[in-house]
Amino acid sequence: MDDKLAAKTLVVIAGPTASGKTAAAIELANYYDTAIISADSRQFYREMSIGTAKPTDDELAAAQHFFINSLSITEGFTAGDYETQALELLNKLFDEHDYVLLVGGSGLFIKAVCEGFDEFPDTEPGIREALNSEFDKQGITGLQEKLKLADPIYYSQVDINNPQRLIRALEVFESTGKPYSSFRKSGAAKRPFRVVKFGLTLPREKLYRQINNRVDEMVKTGLIEEVRSLLPYRHLNALNTVGYSEIFDYFDGKTDFDTAIELIKRNTRRFAKRQLTWFGRDREINWLQADNQNLIAEMISAIKKS
């Protein structure tokens, strides 16, 4: 990237699932005549549409979108890959636009673009497999205790209910003998463009109602059939996702249908709470009520003043 980007602005629209990010982003993209880069790590995958609540065909046609349907679930893709590809894309988009939107609920991917992603050393082969096996046999509690002893600093910062984060930290520690936190950057990488961040939220009861209604709509539009088509790939990390895991359990006879749907609703509500916690730590986010009639005008005004 070069000096031309000093006057360019990346507008981030973050927030929990079902908070109205897509609708707001399309309206703002049309106002600025610009494009939307998705920061939803499951909407990247072509095979996962209904359960990830992708924008509809009409919404995709209403504004140019990137990183939606861009990968297959069989392809590996990390936050570091996303950072590299998103920055390359921004360099091109800023040739044509003064403003570009980054929209989604995957906090790690938004952080990668806005602040840079930490570089970590190579890890010893086989350690991740061993940790995954330990998790399968003993559950998450053992991983939590190991990380608490190995790296209390990172333990105090990470979502301790996310096994993949715990496994990654322990993998680095067991490969190097050094805590994961010691490899993390002390400050954000400098970007040559401005970043203005918005977070959309709703009163909790309304957000939970929208989540429940969305799940019901997913079921009506073919969620069960979509998950059934993905049974041969259920071992892939991309499918270790709310809305898919519960239906796999239903297919396995571990739950009945109604229980599976209620679990999707409950787990999605819990996921939304974790998203709010993650984004709540970012002091640069300007929080707005998604159901505010003047939402877009307030966003435009804040962008002009920033």
- pLDDT per residue, tens digit, the chain (306 aa), is 556 677 899 999 999 999 999 999 999 999 999 999 999 999 999 999 999 999 999 999 999 999 999 999 999 788 888 999 999 999 999 999 999 999 999 998 998 899 886 677 777 768 888 898 889 888 999 999 999 999 999 998 888 888 989 999 999 898 888 898 888 766 678 899 999 999 999 999 999 999 999 999 999 999 999 999 999 999 887 898 999 999 999 999 999 999 999 999 999 999 999 999 999 999 999 999 999 999 999 999 999 998
Same domain, 138 and 286: no
275 in any annotated domain: yes
Could you give the CA distance from residue 41 to residue 207 in angstroms, rounded to a whole number? Answer: 21
Do residues 21 and 11 lie in contact, with contact meaning Cβ atoms separated by under 8 Å? no
Same domain, 194 and 105: yes
Could you give the CA distance from residue 196 to residue 114 in angstroms, rounded to a whole number? Answer: 10
Same domain, 203 and 100: yes
Please report how the helices 257-280 and 204-220 are oriented relative to each other, as an axis angle in degrees rounded to 10. 140
Do residues 89 and 103 lie in contact, with contact meaning Cβ atoms separated by under 8 Å? no
226 in any annotated domain: yes
284, containing H or E segment: none
Same domain, 111 and 240: yes
17 in any annotated domain: yes
Same domain, 33 and 88: yes
Same domain, 241 and 292: yes
Looking up tokens 């570009």, which residue turns up? 100
Same domain, 83 and 200: yes
227 in any annotated domain: yes
Q: What is the pLDDT of residue 264?
A: 98
Handedness of CA 116, 164, 68, 28 (dihedral sign): negative
Handedness of CA 31, 34, 35, 39 (dihedral sign): negative
Q: What is the pLDDT of residue 187?
A: 67
- Tell me which of 139, 168, 183 is where a domain ends: 183
> In 3-state terms, what secondary structure has residue 8?
coil
Question: Which tokens sit at 119?
Answer: 């570089």
Could you give the CA distance from residue 132 to residue 122 in angstroms, rounded to a whole number? Answer: 18
Same domain, 67 and 91: yes
257 in any annotated domain: yes
Residue 70's Cβ-count burial label (10 Å; 0-12, 13-18, 19+) is middle
13 in any annotated domain: yes
Report angle CA 156, 204, 104 to the nearest 5 degrees: 65
Q: What is the pLDDT of residue 2?
A: 55
Number of domains the chain is built from:
2
Instruction: State the residue range of the domain holding 26.
Output: 3-117+187-305
CATH code assigned at 132: 1.10.20.140
Neighbours of 79 (CB within 10 A): 17
CATH code assigned at 56: 3.40.50.300
122 in any annotated domain: no
Same domain, 192 and 75: yes
Q: What is the pLDDT of residue 184?
A: 74
Same domain, 97 and 219: yes
Same domain, 94 and 19: yes
Do residues 73 and 239 lie in contact, with contact meaning Cβ atoms separated by under 8 Å? yes
167 in any annotated domain: yes
Same domain, 21 and 153: no
Instruction: Give the largest Cα separation in the chain, rounded.
Output: 59
